Structures are given as structure tokens and as C-alpha cells.
Structure 1
Amino acid sequence: MTVALLETAWLVPLYPLLAALLSLAWSPGLISRTGPRPCGYLNLLMVSAAFVHSVVALTALHTNARAGAEALYRPITFGWTWLDTAGLRIGFDGLITEPALVAMTVITGLHVLVQLYSIAYLEMDWGWPRFFGSLSFFEAGLCALVLTDSLFFSYVILELLTFGTYLIVGTWYNQPLVVKGARDAFLTKRIGDLILLAGVIALLPLTGTWNFHGLQGWAADQINNHNTLPPAITLILLALIAGPMGKCAQIPLHLWLDEAMESPLPSTVLRNSVVVVGGAWVLLRLEPLIELSPLVQTVLVIVGGTSALVGSLIALAQIDVKRALSFLVSSWLGLLFVAVGLGGIDVADHLMLVYPLAMALMLMAVGAIVLTNITQDLTQLGGLWSKRPLMGLAFLTGAAGLMALPPFGGFAALRELLELTAASSSPAVLGGVVLITNALISAGLIRVFGLIWAGRPSVFTTRSPEVLWLMALPTFVLMGLMLHLPQLLVINGVFSLSPLPGWGPQALPLLLSTLVGGGLSAVFYLRPHPLAHLPAALGGLQDWLAHDMQTERFYHRTVVWLVVSLARLSAWSDDRLIDGFSGASGSAAMAGARRLSLTTSGRSQLYALTLVLGVVLMAIWLLATPAAAPELVRPFS
């Protein structure tokens, strides 16, 4: 039975997809007598079925010798052909591997917890069908993404996830700010997606395949045979990494994540924990191709390092708690881009593995505060440690998982990254980026904790009731998983126990950066300190960081201005040149027709006279034209 579930693991995305489709029956009101709540319960049931199937399949992989050997050394394949014509075949080819099953278990497990959480968070909301259907649509897309072996269908699925982002950000569509956030998030992602599509199309004639394993084999052949690669391969690879840059909210394609915070907080939990990692998953599958171009690797390191530093700095100036955590998402994933650029595929895997649970736990703890205190403004919170200590402990547990603090998984992954930078061509610069970013991330997380749970109660937090148990239960379950994650990673051989999980070279500098960043932030925010707010002379710096370094204004003055100018030029040319020419020629034809109509009198004598004059004029022309002399043809001599 377990082997059968392993071999049919490709069914996992179909459970939430079916739930999303059935949600349409409630969304337009086709089913109204029951109210919207059965739709939420249906989605929860189907998501739970997907989670159980994933867990059983992963268990079978590790406990059944035959199934495990087949999945590890000869992965289970499946597929169907979508298009096969003129020598071109496009199909959804999939592989059931251990990483895919682990990823699906994390995705489906988090979705179960989030949907439980959402039932309580949106208890009085009537938009359940649209919201829960969108969550299930997200899960189906993410599970399909980790199963597919096709770069083309990876692009298609990423596009569907972008569409899902638009739907779920616009859940409360009667608010103008929400509509703007959904639109801006959708359009910002389009930039990277269009460039990615160009790269996907251009790659096929060069490699002859879109399958990741085929691309890996092609890249290995180029290296082993010392083939000279065409110059276009660098441009193609730059186009391919543009898509993951947009999905992972890397600079300069990071604005969409900030705009997406207008959606309900449960969707933020999933988006910031697993949806953004979808782009990183595709990037890791492209790593064999990326190794072919040192320029592309350098671009990844520069983009990742810049996003890591800038994102963590911007987070320190945010007063909206959801935005403060969202910029830390860009910062952490920037470190993952650095690892891929340096060729550390295993390090990038570990960074991606330890991230989702920690970020989801922090957002769940914050959501419990936002719901009961009716604000997500950090300056209006505070003093909640005496009223909500358990949620404070949950937040600290999640924060410890992202800071380089042993024995948690974030420490082990960041230590591996720091060791990787030490072996690079610029160890001082890249190592400094990792250490400074870790210090800033630690400072940002302790700042959020201090502004919510430390200090004195405000008007909003004087009375802070407990949340419903359906919000507390998944939060504490996730907290327990976070506390046991280091042991699970050691047991499965991801990190070694020496003497702490992941301890090794570069551990002390990394731990010191955590203590410096987190300690200074604790001094400023656990007890309100004057330096927590910059002096008036430096207030402009804080405002500049709070407004995302004026990136949106820069886009409006450059990209948006250029697009608007081209649109106005196109409208003017269409109105004055194209429509003007066709309109003027049409008017001239109509005027000529009106004048000719005046010559029609209806008298047959006048018509006969006109014909006679025409014949006479033609005869005169023929007589006046000299006849051409016939050319003499000489006989052959």
C-alpha cells in the first residue's frame, strides 16, 4: 500500500486543485444556503489528504528497501504530452524524488496549519470561497512545481502562481489600496516573467530539450568536451535567472512583496514561507547551466549580496510589522542567491530547507497579535509580554531559527555559507556581507519582538484578549516542529553533531555577529531607548529607508515615465498619422463622390453625348500616338 502511494505521489497536486475548482461553486453564489463555511472545511479536508499522501510516500521512500532504491537511484517518472507537432514535443515530465517528497511534505503540512489558522482568523469574513480556493490553488501549483522536470512547465506554473497572487492579494477588493497592491504586485512580476519566457524559448534550439535532467546532461557534455559556447548562452542564462529574481523578491524586482502585504495575514504566512521559495527551487534546478557562465555567477552574487544588505536595512526602518518581516524575506533569499552564485548547491539547499518553518512561525505569532489588537503598526504596540507570553515565545523560536544561533538550523546553514565565502575569490568582501547581513537580520527580528512584547502597553495593547484555539493550535504545533528541527536534520544526515548541529569553521565569527546585532537591538528596543529613533539630523535617513530607498519613486521617474511616454507617442501617431491618413482619404473620397453625384441629371440625351465625347477623345489619342515600327527578325546565319 505504501509503495503504491509512493508511485502515485503525482496525485498530490490534484487534491488541492480539486478543492480549488469545487470552491467556484460557492464563490459566485451558486451554493448559498449553506453559507461559505463548508467551502473552507472542504478545502481543509482535501489539503489534509494531500499532506497524508505526501507523508506516507516519504515514509515509504525511507522504510521500503525496494521503493527507496528505485526512488533514489532510478527515480519514478511520469508524464503526459501536451503538444507534439512538426518535431516539437512539449510535455509535462515529472520525477518523484526524495527532495520533491520532502518539499511536498513541507508545503502541504504548512497549508494544513495555515488553513486551520485561517478558519479562526477569518471567522467573520464572507470571502471564504475565494480565499480558501486561492490557498488550495497555491498548494497545487507549488506541488506541481517541485514534481515537474520541465523548464517550460515550470515557467507555466510560476505564471499560474503569479495569477494566484493577484487573486489572493485582492481578496478584500472593495478597498482601493488592496486593488492597487494586487495590480502592482502582478505587474512587477511581469517584468521578470517576460524576460524568463524569452530565455526559455531561446534555450530550446541550443540544447534541444527543456527537461532539467537533459539540460544537466547537456551542460556536463559542454564542460567535459571543452566545447566553445556561443556568446548568446550568457544572455540566455541572464534571462533565465530574471524569473527567480522576481519570484524571490530580489532587487530590483522586489517591490511586489511589499505590495502583496495588503492580503489577509494567513496568505502572507504561505507567501513569505513557501511561495517565494518556488523561484529559488527553479534557480537550483538551473545551477548546472549557471556554472557555464562566470558572468552569470557574478551577477547572482552581486544581486544576492545587494538584496541581503539592502533588505535587512530597509526592514529596520519599517513600522508595519508585515512589511518589516517581508523585507527580511528578500534579505534571507539574497543569501541563497549568493550561495548559488558561488556554486554551493548544497549550501543553497540547506538555506532553503531551514527557512520556511521559521518564517511561517513568526508570522503566525504576529498574526495572533494583529487580530486581537486591531493594528499592525509597531509604534502602536508594546507591553504584551505579560499578556501574551506564549506567542512571544513562539516568535522568539522562529527568530532563533533564522538567526545564526546554535543549535537551530539557521546557524548551521549560515555557517556553511560563511565557509563557502571563505573559499571564494573575495573572502573578505563576501564574508563581510554574510556577517553584516546576519547581524542586521538579528537586529531586525529583536526589534520586532521588542516593539510588540517589550516596553509599556499602549492604548491598543492595554487589553489584549487571547485568540481562538484554532489559531493557537497550529502556531504551537509549528513551534514544536521548529524546536525539533535541529534533531531531525542531524538524524537525517543534513548536519553533523560536532558538538552542536552544524558547528565547524567560521562558527565563532558568525555567532559573534548574531550577538552584536541582536544585543544592540535588545538594548535599544527591549527598553525604549532614545537612539531607537534617529536624531532629527538623521531623520531623513530613516525616512529614506522606510520608503524603500525611494525605489518606487525611481521606477515612476524612469520605467513608468518611459512606458507612459511611449504610450502617448503611440496614441498620438495612431490618432494623427494612421487615423488621420485613413480619415482624410475617406473624407476626400466622399467629397469626390458628392461632387460626381451632381453630374447625374437623369437625362438620356446627356448620357449619350458623354459617351460620344469619350469615343471621340479616345480616337484622337490613338491617332496622335505614333505607331511603333515592327522589329525585323534576322534569320540565323
Structure 2
Amino acid sequence: MTVALLQTAWLVPFYPLLAALLSLAWSPGVISRTGPRPCGYLNLAMVAVAFSHSLLALTALHTNAAAGAQALYRPVSFSWTWLETAGLRVGFDGLVTEPVLIAMTVITGLHLLVQIYAIGYMEMDWGWPRFFGCLSFFEAGLCGLVLTDSVFFSYVILELLTLGTYLIVGTWYNQPLVVKGARDAFLTKRIGDLILLAGVIALLPVSGTWNFHGLQGWAADLTNNGQPLPAGFTLILLALIAGPMGKCAQIPLHLWLDEAMESPLPSTVLRNSVVVVGGAWVLLRLEPLIELSPLVQAVLVAVGGTTAVVASLIALAQVDVKRALSFLVSSWLGLLFVAVGLGGTAVADHLLLVYPLPMALILMSIGTIVISNVTQNLTQLGGLWSRRPLMGLAFLTGAAGLMGLPPFASFAALRELLALTAASGHPWLLGGLVLLTNCLISAGLIRVFGQIWGGRPTPFTQRSAEVLWLMVLPTTVLMGMELHLPQLLVRNGVFSLTPLPGWGPLAWPLLVSTLVGGGFSAAFYLRPHGLARLPQALSGLQEWLAHDMQTERFYHRTVVALVLALARFGAWSDSRLVDGFSGGTGAAAMAGARRLSLTTSGRSQAYALSLVLGVLLMAAWLLASPAPLPLSLLP
């Protein structure tokens, strides 16, 4: 039975997809007598089925010897041909491997907890069919993304996830800020998607395949045979990494994640924990190609390093708690881009593995505060440790899971990244960047904790009872999973136990950077300190950081201004040149016709005379022109 579940693991995306399609019966009100709640319960049931199937398939891989050998050395593969013509085949090729099963288990498990959480969070909302259907659509897309072995269908699924982002951010579409956030998130991600499409189309003629494993073999042949890179291949790689940059909210395509915070918080939990890492998953699959170009690796390091530092600085000045955490997401994923740029595929895998659970836990604990205190403004919160200690412990557990703090799993992953930078060509620069980013992330997380649970109560927090058990239960379950994650990874051989999980070279500098960042932030924010706000002379700096370093204004003055100028020029040329030419020629034809009409007398003798004169003139011209030579006499 377990072997059969392993061999049919490719069915997992269809369970939530079926639930999303069935939600269409409730969304427009076709089924109205039951109300919206049965739709939410249906989606929850199908997500539970998907999680059970993924978990049992992963268990079969690890416990059944026959299934394990088959899946590890002869993984289950499947293929569906979408288009085949003129020698071109476009199909959905998939593989069921151990990383795929782990990813699907994490995705479906988090979706299950979030859908239980959402039932409590959206208790009084009537938009259940649209909201829960979009959540299931997201889950189906993410599971399909990790299953596919085709870079083309990876692009297609990323496009569908972009559409899903637009729909779910616009859940409360009667609010102007929500409409703006959904539109900006969609358009910003579309920029990266369009550049990615150009790279995907250009890749096929060069490599001859769109399959990731085929591309890996093609890259290995180039390396082993010492062949030079095809012409323009570096540009193709730069286009391919543009898509993951947009999905992972990396500079300069980072503003969409900030705008997407207008959606309901349960969708924010999924977006910031698993949806954003979809781009990182594709980037890791492209690692064999990226290693062929040092320039592309340098671009990844530059983009990731810049985003890691800049986003963490911006997070320190944010007042909205969801926006502060969104910039910390970009900062953490920037470290993952640095790992990929340095060729540390295993390190990037570990960073990707330890990230989703703590970020989801942080946001779920924050959601219980936002829903009961009717604000997400950090300056209006405080003093909740005596009233909401359980959610405070949950937040601290998630925060520790993202810092370089032993024995949590992120400590081992960050220490491996620090060791990777020490072996690079610029160890002091990149190592200092990792330590600085970890210090700033720790400071940002403790700042949020201090402004919510530290200090004195405010009018918004005088009364703050625990929320519905449907929100507390999945949060505490996830907290237990995060606490057990280090031992789980040690038991499966991901990290070593010496003497703490992942302890090794450069562990002390990483731990010191965590204590410095978290310690200073705790001193400033647990009991509000005067230095928590910059002096008046430096208030402009804080204002600049709070407005995302005026990035949006910069885009309006450069990119948007250029697009508007081109649009105005196009409108002018269309009205004056294109329409003017066609209108002018028509007017000239009409004027000529009017003048010719004046020569019409109606006398047949004049018409006959004109014909005779025309024939005589043509005959005279033919007689006057020299006769052509025969072809045989031509040289």
C-alpha cells in the first residue's frame, strides 16, 4: 500500500486543484442555500488528503527498503505531452524524488495548518469560497512546481502563481489600498516573468532540451569537454535568473511583497513562507547552468548581498508589522541567493529547508495579535507579555529559528553559509555581509517582539484576550514542529551533532553577531529607550528607510516616466503621422476626384477623341523607342 502511494505521489497537486475548482460553485453564489462555510471545510478536507498522501509517500521512501531503493536510484517518472509538432515537443515531465516529497510534505502540511487557522481568522467574512479556493490553487501550483522537470512548465506554473497572487491579494477588493497592492504586486512580478520567458525560449535552441536533468547533463558535457559557452548564453542565464529574483522579492523587484501585505493574514503566512521560495526552488534547479558563467554568479552574489543588507535596514524602520516582516523575508532570501552565487548548492538547500516553518510561525503568532487588537501598527501595541504569553513564546521560537542561534536549525545553515564565504575569493567582504545581515535580522525580530510584548500596555492592548482555539491550535502545533526540527535534521543526517546541531568552524562569530543584534534591540525596545528613535538630526534617515529608501518614487521618476514619455510619443505619432498620412492621402484623392469631375462634359465625341489621341501617342512612343536585341546576340 505504501509503495503504491509513493508511485502515485504525482496525484498530490490534483487534490487541492479539485477543491479550488469546486469552490467555483460557491463563489458566484450558485450554491447559496448552504452559505460559504461548506466550501472552506471542503478545501480543508482535500488539503488534509494531499498532506496525508505526501507524508505516507515520504514515510514509504524512508521505511520500505524496496520503495526506498526504487525511488532513490530509479525515481518514479511521468510525462504528459502538451504539444508536439514539427519536431518540437512541449510536455510536462515530472520526477518523484526525495527532495520533491519533502517539499510537498512541507507545502501541504503548512497549508493544512493555515487553512485551520484561516477558519478562525476569517470567521466573520463572507468571502470564504474565493479565499479558500485561491489558497488551494496556490497549493496545487506549488506542488506542481516541485514535481515538474521542465523549465518551460516551471515558467507556466510561476505565471499561474502570479495570477493567484493577484486574486488573493485582492480578496477585499472594495478597499482602494487592496486594489493598488494587487495591481502593483501583479505588474512587478510580471516584469521578471517576461524576462524569464525570453530566457526560456532562447534556451531551447542552444541546449536542445527544457528538462532540468537534460540541462544538467548538457552543462556537464560542456565542462568535461572544455567547450566554450555558446554565443549569448550569459544573456540567457541573466534572463533565467530574473524570474526567481522577482518571485523571491530581490532588489530591484522587491516592492511587490511589501504591497501584497494588504491581503488577509493567513494568505500572508503562506506567501512569505512557501510561495516566495518557489522562485528559489527554480533557481536551485538551474544551478548547473549558473556554474558555467562566473558573471552570472557574481550578479547573484551582488543582488543577494545588496538585498540582504538593504532589506534588513528597511525592516528596522517599518511601523507596520507585516511590512517589517516582509522585508526580513527578502533579506533572508538574499542570503540564499549569495549561497547559489558562490556555488554552494547544498548550503542553499539547507537554507531553503529551515526557512518555511519559523517564518510561518512568526506570522501566525502575529496574526493572533492583529485580529484581537484591531491594529498592526507597532507604535500602538505593547505590554502584551502579561496578557498573551503563549503567542509571545511562539513568536520567540520562530524568531530563534531564523537567527543564528543554536541549537535551532537556522544556526547550522547560516554557519555553513559563513564557512562558504570564508572559502570564496572575498572572504572578509562576504563573511562580514553574512554576519551583518544576521545581526540586523536578529535586531529586527527582537524589535518587533519588544514593541508588541514589551513595554507598557496601550489603549489598543488594555484588553487582549486569547483568540479562537482554531488559531491557537495550529500555532502551537507549528511551534512544537519548529522546536523538534533540529533533532529531526540531525537524525536524518542533514546536520551533525558536535556538540550542538551544526556546530563547527566560524560558529562563534555567528553566535556573537546574533547576540549583539538581538541584545542591542532588546535593550532599546523591551523597555522603550530614548535611542529607540533616532535623534532629530537623523530623523530624515529614519523617514527615508521607512519609505523603502524612496524606491517607489525613484521608479516613478525613471521607469514610469520613461514609459509615459514613450506612450505619449506613440499617441502623438499615431494621431499626427499615421492618421495624418492616411487622412491626407484620402483628402488628396478626394480633391483630385473633384477636379477631374470638372473635366467631364458628357459629350461622346470628346471621349472618342481622347481615346484616339492616347492610342496615337502610345504608338509614336513605341516607334521612337529602339528595338530590343535578340537574346542570342546579347553578350
Normalising by structure 2, we get a TM-score of 0.97
| 8 A contact 2:490–2:497 mirrored in 1 | yes
Shift of the alpha carbon at 1:36?
1.0
RMSD: 1.6
What pairs up with 1:252-271 in 2 under 5 angstroms?
252-271=252-271
What's the secondary structure of 1:274's corresponding residue? helix
* Structure 1 residues 326 and 626: CA distance shift in structure 2, 3 A: closer
Shift of the alpha carbon at 1:47?
0.6
Match of 2:56 in 1: 56
Match of 2:446 in 1: 446
Query: What are the Cα deviations for residues 338-387 of structure 1, in whole angstroms up to 9, with x where unaligned?
Result: 11111111110010101000000000000000001110000000011111
Q: Check if 1:614 corresponds to 2:610.
A: yes
Shift of the alpha carbon at 1:581?
1.1
Q: Check if 1:403 corresponds to 2:403.
A: yes
Unmatched 5+ stretches in structure 1: none
Query: What are the Cα deviations for residues 485-523 of structure 1, in whole angstroms up to 9, with x where unaligned?
Result: 111011111111111100111011100000000000000
Q: One-letter code of the match for 1:219?
A: A
Match of 1:579 in 2: 579
What pairs up with 1:190-201 in 2 under 5 angstroms?
190-201=190-201
Match of 1:224 in 2: 224
Shift of the alpha carbon at 1:593?
4.4
Match of 1:118 in 2: 118
What's the secondary structure of 1:80's corresponding residue? strand
| Whole-angstrom distance in 1 between the partners of 2:155 and 2:562 | 27
Shift of the alpha carbon at 1:483?
0.7
| Identical residues among aligned pairs (%) | 80
Shift of the alpha carbon at 1:29?
1.4
Shift of the alpha carbon at 1:633?
6.7
Shift of the alpha carbon at 1:231?
3.8
Match of 1:160 in 2: 160
| Whole-angstrom distance in 1 between the partners of 2:596 and 2:473 | 88
Q: One-letter code of the match for 1:326?
A: S
Match of 2:474 in 1: 474
Shift of the alpha carbon at 1:618?
2.1
Shift of the alpha carbon at 1:230?
2.4
What's the secondary structure of 2:387's corresponding residue? coil
Q: One-letter code of the match for 1:374?
A: V
* Structure 1 residues 620 and 552: CA distance shift in structure 2, 3 A: same
Match of 2:528 in 1: 528
| 8 A contact 2:206–2:230 mirrored in 1 | no
| Whole-angstrom distance in 2 between the partners of 1:557 and 1:635 | 72
| Whole-angstrom distance in 2 between the partners of 1:425 and 1:635 | 77
Shift of the alpha carbon at 1:592?
4.3
Query: What are the Cα deviations for residues 122-149 of structure 1, in whole angstroms up to 9, with x where unaligned?
Result: 1111111111111000000000000000
Match of 1:372 in 2: 372
| 8 A contact 2:406–2:500 mirrored in 1 | yes
Q: One-letter code of the match for 2:512?
A: L
What pairs up with 1:145-544 in 2 under 5 angstroms?
145-544=145-544
Match of 1:72 in 2: 72
Q: One-letter code of the match for 2:24?
A: L
What's the secondary structure of 2:467's corresponding residue? coil
Shift of the alpha carbon at 1:627?
1.4
Normalising by structure 1, we get a TM-score of 0.97
Greater shift after overlay, 476-485 or 28-37? 28-37
Shift of the alpha carbon at 1:399?
0.2
* Structure 1 residues 600 and 126: CA distance shift in structure 2, 3 A: farther
Q: One-letter code of the match for 1:553?
A: R
| Whole-angstrom distance in 1 between the partners of 2:541 and 2:203 | 44
Shift of the alpha carbon at 1:594?
5.2
* Structure 1 residues 600 and 25: CA distance shift in structure 2, 3 A: farther
Query: What are the Cα deviations for residues 383-422 of structure 1, in whole angstroms up to 9, with x where unaligned?
Result: 1111111000000000000011110001111011111111
| Whole-angstrom distance in 1 between the partners of 2:271 and 2:449 | 21
Match of 1:105 in 2: 105
Q: One-letter code of the match for 1:618?
A: G
Shift of the alpha carbon at 1:228?
1.4
What's the secondary structure of 1:107's corresponding residue? helix
| Whole-angstrom distance in 1 between the partners of 2:620 and 2:597 | 32
Query: What are the Cα deviations for residues 23-55 of structure 1, in whole angstroms up to 9, with x where unaligned?
Result: 111111111111111111111111110000000
What's the secondary structure of 2:90's corresponding residue? strand
Shift of the alpha carbon at 1:615?
2.7
Q: One-letter code of the match for 2:393?
A: L
Shift of the alpha carbon at 1:580?
1.2
Shift of the alpha carbon at 1:194?
1.1
| Whole-angstrom distance in 1 between the partners of 2:273 and 2:217 | 32
What's the secondary structure of 1:93's corresponding residue? strand
| 8 A contact 2:406–2:501 mirrored in 1 | yes
Match of 2:554 in 1: 554
